[in-house]
């Protein structure tokens, strides 16, 4: 589906407005579609022609189901759809007509409508519904007409309430009604972007900071963005809780993409380990021919950790690096500009010393999770196709190691990388960090190990925001590129909130860090590169990104290997039979047999000589 990654879409429109054709275009990139026809049959030639025109537009891979025989069956079809399916319901006007048909009365219409709305709200599949918009016409003059418009208006309002997005098609032109399309302000690379005001660690969800984009951006090709999953929404944002049912990638598209790769016209043996990139892009884009990610955004999380977690860190160093990124300087900003990638610096709440007490309050955790979710949504709304998680806070490695110790049972010394201070190893600082993690784990022993508890006790603001980003990106079917401790720790926490999140993550490089290696094993992620890069979280991923784009570009653009049967007669080294000379007799190297008495020659000379002797 090509509409900003939404899951439940309601397409409204008047008669002959083009609403059905537009709805069909939203699911055109799906491998298979279940087309749910709701209207009752009619013997009239004009109605039959309309149905035939609709049917002729559908690809042969689509299947058709009819629900006109029982209005309640539509809710059953939607409720039982699988997460990997795509449904197109056309349309709710026909469904209301059948619902009001005297043949189906008496019936509790209100209950039937409520069942439909509940099924739409909880549907795990990708769902597009078409419905006539009746609110712009005159009030019908007949009781039956008024009953129809009243019922359809009620259905439209109730379904629109639970859909992710609602569009009104007028004269073939879609107009978005829900949500309002807004994009963050963009600034040229190198421009000063004012920092966000407000106290660090504020419980309320902060405003999103500005985005820094490079001046020279390449044109972005059309990339299919799949719709989102079903997420309960609270009054002040999504309700993030354990056991959320978020969408899975299209797991069939990956093997199909690899099968296609095997048939490409390549001079060598193929893509090697980069086949993993093509397979991942195929599953997250829902197509066997994935396109390279052109619209990419880096989210740089700046959140410090106080106490022993930050032992060996120079005072103010993390703030300096965040300011460098804002001004277009430093490793991360330069790599982003080189690759045409947008950069957004995020201020996360500062974490208290974990060896003495919780890093965050429960309210701060909720706020940080929702903030990260909203950052992902805003990025997708702006057309971003790939997110990269980066971090520059003090003590992030120790906080991530503490999360890994709590969620995977690891020992701090085994997963905490050595501390480098001014180019030299600082083992005293490393031991102080290990001690802080040990004390924190000891302090939390016996307490709950739920995801939000781990964030509050050990994780801190940057890992909480990163977790929200991963969940929000998963809900919007947008992949995330990871390469550092904060992103991997967020992956471990998000796994306990929504197991689907890890399937939308890609690990660029482990950087030689033992904690990232272990987290990758737990999450089932395989590093794309073994470069042992240590340029800072996020910078490692941007170093690898051009290679990933190149692999996807080749995979999408190269033609299939020609069929030998289509290339005509093959040239060989054989000589035509008529040009082959008769074989010359081979020499006889055998020894002559012993001669008996008398002449043995049969040559003419011998014959003549013997004859003369006889005469």
3-state secondary structure of 170: strand
Instruction: Supply 153's token pair.
Output: 């208006």
Cβ 266 vs Cβ 275: under 8 Å: no
Tell me which residue of 192, 101, 84, 199 sits closest to 147, measured CA to CA: 101
Collapse the DSSP code of 278 into the 3-class scheme (helix H, G, I; strand E, B; otherwise coil) and give the result: helix
- Beta pairing partners, 186: 211
CA 295 to chain CA mean position, Å: 13
CA 265 → CA 271, 292, 558, 571, distances in Å?
Answer: 12, 19, 7, 20
DSSP 458: I
The Cα 125–Cα 84 span in angstroms is 6
What is the DSSP-derived secondary structure letter of residue 226?
-
* Tokens 């009001």 belong to residue: 100
In terms of Cβ atoms closer than 10 Å to its own Cβ (0-12, 13-18, 19+), residue 296 is: buried
- DSSP, residue by residue, 95-135: HHHHHT-GGG-S--HHHHHHHHHHHHHH--SEEEEEEE--T
Q: Which residues pair with 168 in a beta bridge?
A: 12, 175
User: Who's near 50: CB < 8 A, 6+ residues apart?
Assistant: none
Rg of the chain over all Cα atoms, to the nearest angstrom: 35
Crossing angle, helix 396-408 and helix 485-497, to 10 degrees?
30
d(CA 466, CA 545): 20
- Segment holding 89, helix H or strand E: strand 86-90
Task: Find the catalytic residue in 355, 377, 378, 537.
Answer: 537
170 Rama sector, left if φ>0, alpha if ψ -120 to 50, beta otherwise = beta
Active site residue 537: yes
- Active site residues per annotation: 537
């Amino acid at each position: 589906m090509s509409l900003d990654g939404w899951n439940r879409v309601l397409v409204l429109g008047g008669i002959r407005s083009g609403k059905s054709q537009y709805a069909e275009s939203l699911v055109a990139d799906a491998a298979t579609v279940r087309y749910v026809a709701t209207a009752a049959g009619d013997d009239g030639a004009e109605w039959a022609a309309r149905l035939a025109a609709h049917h002729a537009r559908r690809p042969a891979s689509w299947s058709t189901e009819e629900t006109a025989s029982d209005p309640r069956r539509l809710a059953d079809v939607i409720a039982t759809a699988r997460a990997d399916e795509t449904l197109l319901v056309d349309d709710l006007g026909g469904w209301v007509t059948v619902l009001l048909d005297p043949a189906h009365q008496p019936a509790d219409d209100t209950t039937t409508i409520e069942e439909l709305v509940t099924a739409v709200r909880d549907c795990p599949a990708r769902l597009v519904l078409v419905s006539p918009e009746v609110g712009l016409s005159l009030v019908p003059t007949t009781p039956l007409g008024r009953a129809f418009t009243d019922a359809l208006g009620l259905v439209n309002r109730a379904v629109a309430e639970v859909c992710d997005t609602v569009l009104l098609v007028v004269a073939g032109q879609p107009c978005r009604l829900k949500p309002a399309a807004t994009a963050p302000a963009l600034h040229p690379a190198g421009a000063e972007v004012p920092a966000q005001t407000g106290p660090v660690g504020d419980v309320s969800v902060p405003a999103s900071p500005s985005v820094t984009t490079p001046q020279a951006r390449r044109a972005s090709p059309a990339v299919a963005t799949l719709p989102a999953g079903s997420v309960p929404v609270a009054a002040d944002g999504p309700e993030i809780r354990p056991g959320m049912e978020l969408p899975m990638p299209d797991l069939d598209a990956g093997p199909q993409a690899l099968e296609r790769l095997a048939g490409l016209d390549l001079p060598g043996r193929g893509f090697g380990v980069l086949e993993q990139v093509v397979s991942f892009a195929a599953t997250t884009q829902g197509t066997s021919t994935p396109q390279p990610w052109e619209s990419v955004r880096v989210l740089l999380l700046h959140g410090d950790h106080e106490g022993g977690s930050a032992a060996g860190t120079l005072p103010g160093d993390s703030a300096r690096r965040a300011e460098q990124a804002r001004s277009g300087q430093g490793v991360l900003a330069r790599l982003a500009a080189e690759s045409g990638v947008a950069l957004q610096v995020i201020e996360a709440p500062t974490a208290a010393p974990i060896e003495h007490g919780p890093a965050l309050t429960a309210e701060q955790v909720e706020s940080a999770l929702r903030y990260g979710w909203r950052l992902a949504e805003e990025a997708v709304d702006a057309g971003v196709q790939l997110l990269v998680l980066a971090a520059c806070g003090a003590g992030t490695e120790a906080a991530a190691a503490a999360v890994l110790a709590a969620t995977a049972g690891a020992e701090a010394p085994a997963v905490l990388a050595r501390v480098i201070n001014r180019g030299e190893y600082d083992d005293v600082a490393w031991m102080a960090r290990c001690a802080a993690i040990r004390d924190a784990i000891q302090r939390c022993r016996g307490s709950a190990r739920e995801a939000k508890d781990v964030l509050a006790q050990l994780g801190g603001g940057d890992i909480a925001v990163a977790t929200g980003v991963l969940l929000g990106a998963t809900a919007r079917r947008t992949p995330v590129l990871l390469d550092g401790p904060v992103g991997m720790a967020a992956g471990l926490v998000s796994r306990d909130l929504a197991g689907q999140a890890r399937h939308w993550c890609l690990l660029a490089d482990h950087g030689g860090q033992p904690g990232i290696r272990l987290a990758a094993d737990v999450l089932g992620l395989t590093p794309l590169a073994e470069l042992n890069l240590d340029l800072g979280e996020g910078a490692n991923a941007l170093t690898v990104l051009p290679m990933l784009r190149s692999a996807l570009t080749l995979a999408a653009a190269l033609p299939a290997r020609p069929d030998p049967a289509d290339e005509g007669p093959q040239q060989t080294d054989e000589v035509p039979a008529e040009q082959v000379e008769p074989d010359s007799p081979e020499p006889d190297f055998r020894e002559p047999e012993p001669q008996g008495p008398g002449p043995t020659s049969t040559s003419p000379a011998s014959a003549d000589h013997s004859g003369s002797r006889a005469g």
